[in-house]
A and B are shown apart, each in its own frame.
Chain A
Amino acid sequence: MAGVLSGHPAQTTTSDGIWPTTSVLIGMRRALARNSPGGRETVLALRFAGLLVAVGTLLLGLVGPGLDRSVDLLAALILGWLVGWVMGPIMVRGAGQGLRPEWFALLPVPPRRLAAGLLGASLVGVAPALTLVAFAAMPVAAGRFGMLPVLVALPAMLLELLVVVLLSRVVVAAMTGLLSTRHGQELGGLLFAVVIALASGGWSLASVMGQQLAQGPGPALSTTLRVLPSGWGPVAVGAAARSDWLLVLGPLFGLAVLAGLLVLAWAWLLPRTMRQPAGQAPRMARRRTPTGHAPRMARNRAVTGRAAARHRLLPAGPTGAVVGKELRVWRRDPARLLLLLLAVLISGLNLAVPAVIFHGPAALPWAGLAATLIVGMGTANMYGDDGTALWLTRMTPGTERADVRGRQAAWLLVVAPATVALTVAVTALTGQGWAWPWVLATLPAVLGGTAGLTILVSATMPIRQKDPGRRTGPFDTSDDPSAAGALIGRQYLMLLLAALTAVPAGAVVLAGAARHEPILQAAGVLAGIATGVLLYWWGGRIAARRLATRGADLMDLLNLGPQARTRGTGSYSGRPRPAGERGVPSRTGPEPGRPLPRGKAALRGALLTLGILCIVPQGLVPIGFNLLGVDHQVKVWFAARYLEESLQAPAAAAFIVVGMLAILFARSISRSR
């Protein structure tokens, strides 16, 4: 230690120029990527997927039939990458290996040099390299129109890359600044919710765009694609092919100016993000009251006296206490409020957009059901989302049942009234009378079933998340990309399970409809209520028993992460825990991570990616489309939809089987270590 310190006494002062700072920062980013816990397979899987998409883009660049169509296609492809660059860091905030400017706030490095260094470091790496491969579609496509277009395409390619990366940095910096205030967090959450909902409903938009591109884009789409900066490079290439030199220089110059402006914007934002690091903003100043509203604060003073009265509304004793706590959390935690908002937006947009585009209001009565499923997905990790707070239940023995039942009751109290009202209102207003037996039968089943199954999944397979007190915003739940991936898996499992709860009631209604027996249809409602009650009771029972008998394992898992269970068998790799981890885990000792060899990890990542792609978009989605009667024009990239109608279902089923095999194979690789 002393040798390291005294051996290079000049180390701290050598990085005089921009390049040394940049190279140190690049090295630091590599080290961070290397040390990211358990994330290696995820990272490799992402890189593999990225490579596929990049090569796909490059090849697509070749297929544009004419010059104009090629320009449109290239512009659309670059726009896609731009959206990815902007959305990526927002959606997986904290999961990336980026350098956070606030780390360098105390260094005696001039801000401008640091800004340049950080920009330089963000231009070096796998993601920019993959993007460059994708953008090489421009010179490759230009090759068909002569040598001069290629010469224009090369700077256009580099400038587009620069703009895309810079834009991404500026958005991240702006978001960091935004998320450091309470109102900013709320605003950011709202923006995020809208963007997610749009993205989730975006498949119908994408399908319209894809059709247009395939058949020759309409003037509106073509103009939009070319006016956006992502289209400027392709426009310049197209102009070079027509020897329209003004239209070559204009867009290229525009891209350079835009890059310059983005650098300025970033240099302006950088010191602000450094001054107010999101994690350490003065908390007391940030939020003073439970709700952040002054009138509420005044009211709260009176409420203290009324607290006992309010408790009387709830069942007395431990369960009532948990319900009371949970209802407060639903009202106060931005993450939960955001979940409710997302549920409404996603279900609304996903059902309303196709209803408008394809003129099919038949899907609308399911909005309440869909919203319930989405809330269920979001609450599939209730115990993990509370961080290590389970310790309180652990130290208050005998209250496991109260905890589980209280959470279930609060969930139902929050979700049921809204979804029932939504379902009734939408079904009545859109005049979809046929839907009544269906929604009335399935909604109670799904409500009760999800309330039972979320708590069951939460208690039996929790995923460790960052302690809520240390989060910088509603999405900052984990520094570990593999946990983020596991959580997504859990959420889709929950979606599947929750959707299955509708099957018995749905089957009864279907039988009634097929035989034209209204009484049998009405019996579906009873079946739905019975399913709901039964699953509510059963899920809670298993969860409570699990908490009582396996509570210690659960606590270990939430406290130390999944590796804690392989104790005594693994070889300790000596990797430190990620920076910023506070509390027991870092004190009790580093977790033993044992990564797969690189080649196997890559294979496993590739197989998992392949498996998910086969099962979800190539298998379940086309089947769902067929069941819902989605327009046959909607093909996008769902391979099965390109086949003859009788072959579509078998093809999708085959994709699901292949996907499952791939995932099984991937699992066998990780087991054989």
Chain B
Amino acid sequence: MGAGEALTGGTVSVTAQAPALQLTGLLKRFGDMTAVDHIDLTVPRGSFFGLVGPNGAGKTTSLAMAVGLLKPDGGSAEVFGVDVWADPVPAKQLIGVLPDGMALPERLTGRELLTYLGLLRGLDPATVARRAQELLEVLELTEAEHTMVVDYSAGMRKKITLATALLHTPRLLVLDEPFEAIDPVSAVTIRAILRRFVRAGGSVVISSHVMTLVEQLCDHVGVIARGRLVASGTLDQVRGNGSLDEAFVRLVGVRVNPLDGLSWLAS
């Protein structure tokens, strides 16, 4: 596998009709705990897919395995028909990833980080400079031009990582909790960017706990609970007649009656 070939991008054989992301029997165990329990999931091309689930349900683990950042114990993940684990080089050219809570080269400024990653991906310096400038402007990171990533706030960190995910014009974006810690103004911007990306034919997968956000943005939804996919389909298929909130509670199950206990709180 020549590095040059991988870096020039472009010529990746993509199966004509394969879905943007296809997870088949994905499995991950930590000791005796099964974090992801044989998940099958299809993200159609051009869809804006929302993955929802309670804390610890396995969303982050599933997405990390889907993009090649965490080795699955079983099953497969395919991006446009390319197996992420068997054929990682072409697969990873197709995806842009915003992982949750991964480290960055902390002692670079935002622009330096984007420049470094762009050159590392084999983009020519002029393109890198132009795209970095645009991304920093759109994501309102130009004011922090001279701040190193180590000094970024949680929201800025999210935004610069999102910029690294967009830099190489991927065809599928996999974003883990993209709106967490983001201020409302930036959230509007990011939503607009993502919507435009989908309109132009791109596909997006986001994970979130915020149902209203998923309802507003996504056209497809998958619900994960206790490591299993309990529902998946278009937004209307999953939520039926009620709201997504109600569907979510019905699917995940009410674990504790909120009116039991805590009686002393109001006394």
Interface residues on A, range: 35 or more
In the bound complex, do residue B56 and residue A398 qualify as a contact, i.e. CB atoms below 8 Å apart? no
A325 to B120, CA, bound (A): 10
Mask: chain B, 62-87; 1 = CB below 8 Å from A; 0 = not: 00100111110100000000000100
- Tell me if A429 counts as interface (CB < 8 A to partner B): no
| Interface 9-residue window, one of A61-69, A142-150, A218-226, A568-576 | A568-576
Residue pair B103, A388 in contact (C-beta under 8 Å): yes
Complex contact A552–B68 (CB within 8 A): yes
CA of A317 to CA of B6, assembled, Å: 13
List of B residues within 8 angstroms of A386 by Cβ: 103, 105
Q: How far is the CA of A404 from the CA of B132 in the complex (A)?
A: 25
- Most chain B C-beta atoms within 10 Å of own C-beta, residue among A284, A316, A401, A566: A284
Per-residue 0/1 for B119-162: is the Cβ within 8 Å of any A Cβ (1 yes, 0 no)? 11110010001000000000000000111111111000100000
Cα–Cα distance between A30 and B100 once the two chains are bound (Å): 32
Q: Mark A572-583, 1 if CB is under 8 A from B, else 0.
A: 110000000011
20 further A-B pairs in the complex, CB-CB below 8 A; given A325-B116, A388-B101, A591-B30 = A1-B261, A297-B146, A300-B145, A311-B119, A387-B102, A391-B69, A391-B103, A397-B88, A398-B89, A399-B121, A467-B103, A556-B71, A560-B30, A568-B29, A568-B31, A571-B32, A583-B101, A584-B64, A592-B31, A592-B33
- Contact string, B1-28, partner A, CB cutoff 8 A, digits 1/0? 1111111000000000000000000001
A325–B117 alpha-carbon span in the complex (Å): 10
Residue of B nearest to A289 (CB): B146
**Are A290 and B148 closer than 8 Å at their CB atoms?**
yes
Q: How far is the CA of A468 from the CA of B105 in the complex (A)?
A: 8
**Contacts known (A308-B125, A568-B73, A584-B60); A332 close to B107, Cβ less than 8 A:** yes
Binds B, one of A2-10, A171-179, A266-274: A2-10
Chain A residues close to B by CB (< 8 Å): 1-3, 5-6, 9, 283-284, 286-290, 297, 300-301, 304, 307-308, 311, 316-318, 320-322, 324-325, 328-329, 332-333, 386-389, 391-399, 401-403, 467-469, 552-553, 555-556, 559-560, 563-564, 566-568, 570-573, 582-584, 587-592
Taking a contact as CB atoms closer than 8 A, the residue among B30, B111, B125 that contacts A588 in the complex is B30
User: Is B210 interfacial (CB-CB < 8 Å)?
Assistant: no
Q: What is the CA–CA distance of A392 and B117 in the complex, to the nearest angstrom?
A: 8
A319 to B148, CA, bound (A): 22
Please tell me if the beta carbons of A3 and B261 are within 8 angstroms of each other in the complex: yes
Interface centre among A396, A556, A571 (most CB of B within 10 A): A396
Please tell me which one of the listed residues B6, B89, B164, B261 contacts residue A392 in the complex, with CB atoms under 8 A apart: B164
Contacts of A300 in B (CB 8 A): 145-146
Q: Which of B88-110 contact A (CB under 8 A)?
A: 88-89, 92-93, 95, 97, 99-109
The winner among A3, A297, A395, A401 for most chain B CB atoms within 10 A is: A395
Query: Which listed residue, B32, B58, B146, touches A572 by the CB 8 Å rule?
Result: B32
- Tell me which residues across on chain A come within 8 A of B219, comparing CB atoms: none
Report B164-204 CB contacts with A as 1/0, cut-off 8 Å. 10000000000000000000000000000000000000000
What residues of chain B lie closer than 8 Å to A391, measured between beta carbons? 69, 97, 99, 102-103
Contact indicator A399/B120 (Cβ below 8 Å): yes
A1-B256, A317-B122, A564-B30 given; A587·B56 CB < 8 A: yes
CA distance A392 to B73 in the complex (A): 22
Contacting pair A567 B97 (CB below 8 A): no
CA distance A553 to B69 in the complex (A): 10
Q: How far is the CB of B200 from chain A (nearest CB, A)?
A: 22
- Which residue in chain B gives the minimum CB-CB distance to A331? B107
Cα of A559 to Cα of B35 in the assembled complex, Å? 15
The CA-CA distance from A231 to B117 in the complex, in Å, is: 59
Most chain-A Cβ atoms within 10 A of its Cβ — which of B5, B71, B120? B120
CB atoms of B115 and A328 under 8 A apart: no
Q: Which of B5, B33, B61, B145 contacts A587 (CB 8 A)?
A: B61
Q: Which of A284, A286, A321, A589 contacts B120 (CB 8 A)?
A: A321
Mask: chain B, 235-267; 1 = CB below 8 Å from A; 0 = not: 000000000000000000000100011111000
Which residue of the partner chain A has the closest CB to B63?
A584
Min CB distance A314 to B, Å, is 10
In the assembled complex, B40 has its CB within 8 A of some CB on chain A: no
Q: Do the beta carbons of A396 and B120 come within 8 Å of each other? A: yes
Q: List 7 A-B contacts (CB under 8 A).
A: A6-B263, A311-B115, A322-B120, A324-B119, A398-B5, A398-B7, A567-B73
Write out the residue numbers on chain B whose beta carbons fall within 8 Å of the beta carbon of A329.
105, 107-108
Chain B residues in 8 Å Cβ range of A395:
67-69, 92, 95, 97
Rounded to whole angstroms, the CA-CA distance of A589 and B4 in the bound complex is: 38
Complex CA–CA separation, A283 to B153 (angstroms): 8
* Complex: chain A residue closest to B67, CB-CB: A395
Complex contact B100–A389 (CB within 8 A): no
A321 pairs with B115, CB closer than 8 A: yes
Name the CB-closest residue of A to B99: A391
Given contacts A321-B119, A553-B71, A587-B100, whether A328 and B125 have CB atoms under 8 Å apart is no
Q: Which residues of B contact A321 (CB under 8 A)?
A: 115-120
Min CB–CB distance B181 → chain A (angstroms):
12
Contact yes or no, A318 B120, CB < 8 A: yes
Rounded to whole angstroms, the CA-CA distance of A332 and B112 in the bound complex is 13
Q: Which residues of A contact B56 (CB under 8 A)?
A: 587, 589
Q: Whole-angstrom distance between the alpha carbons of A564 and B35 in the complex?
A: 13
Q: Given A5-B261, A399-B7, A583-B101, is A570 in contact with B71 using a C-beta cutoff of 8 Å?
A: no
Instruction: Given A321-B115, A322-B120, decide whether A6 and B103 contact each other with a Cβ distance below 8 A.
Output: no
Chain A residues contacting B118 (CB-CB under 8 Å) are 321
Q: Which of B28, B32, B102, B109 has the most CB of A within 10 A?
A: B102
> In the complex, are the beta carbons of B151 and A396 less than 8 A apart?
no
Q: Which residues of B contact A568 (CB under 8 A)?
A: 29, 31, 73
With a cutoff of 8 Å between Cβ atoms, the chain B residues found around residue A399 in the complex are 3, 6-7, 120-121
Q: How far is the CA of A301 from the CA of B143 in the complex (A)?
A: 12
Give Cα distance in the complex from A552 to B91, angstroms: 15
Interchain CB contact under 8 A, A555 and B69:
yes
Whether B3 contacts A398 by the Cβ 8 Å rule is yes
- In the complex, which of the residues B29, B33, B120 contacts A590, with contact meaning CB atoms closer than 8 Å? B33
Closest to A466 in B: B103
Q: Are B260 and A2 in contact (CB under 8 A)?
A: yes
Q: Which 9 A-B pairs have the closest CB atoms?
A: A583-B101, A2-B261, A592-B31, A398-B6, A387-B103, A321-B119, A572-B31, A572-B32, A397-B89
Q: Complex: how many Å from CA A391 to CA B106? A: 13
A537 → chain B closest CB, angstroms: 17
Partner of B145, one of A2, A304, A566: A304
* B88 cross-chain contacts in A, Cβ below 8 A: 397
How far in angstroms is the closest Cβ of chain B from A503? 34
**Are the CB atoms of A589 and B106 closer together than 8 Å?**
no
Q: Which B residues are CB-close (under 8 A) to A566?
A: 31
Q: Which residue of A lies closest to B103 (CB)?
A: A387
Cβ–Cβ contact A588 & B115, under 8 A: no
Q: Which residues of A contact B1 (CB under 8 A)?
A: 398
Partner of B108, one of A325, A393, A403, A553: A325
Could you say which of A307, A560, A572, A590 contacts B115, with CB atoms under 8 Å apart? A307
Asked if A290 contacts B261 (CB within 8 A), the reply is no
Q: Please measure, in the bound complex, the distance between the C-alpha atom of A401 and the C-alpha atom of B122, giving whole angstroms.
A: 13
Minimum CB distance partner of B7 in chain A = A398
With a CB–CB cut-off of 8 A, which chain B residues contact A332?
A: 107, 148
Could you say which of A324, A328, A397, A572 has the most chain B C-beta atoms within 10 Å of its C-beta? Answer: A397
Contact present for B105 and A325 (CB under 8 Å): yes
A-side contacts of B105, CB under 8 Å:
325, 329, 386, 389, 392
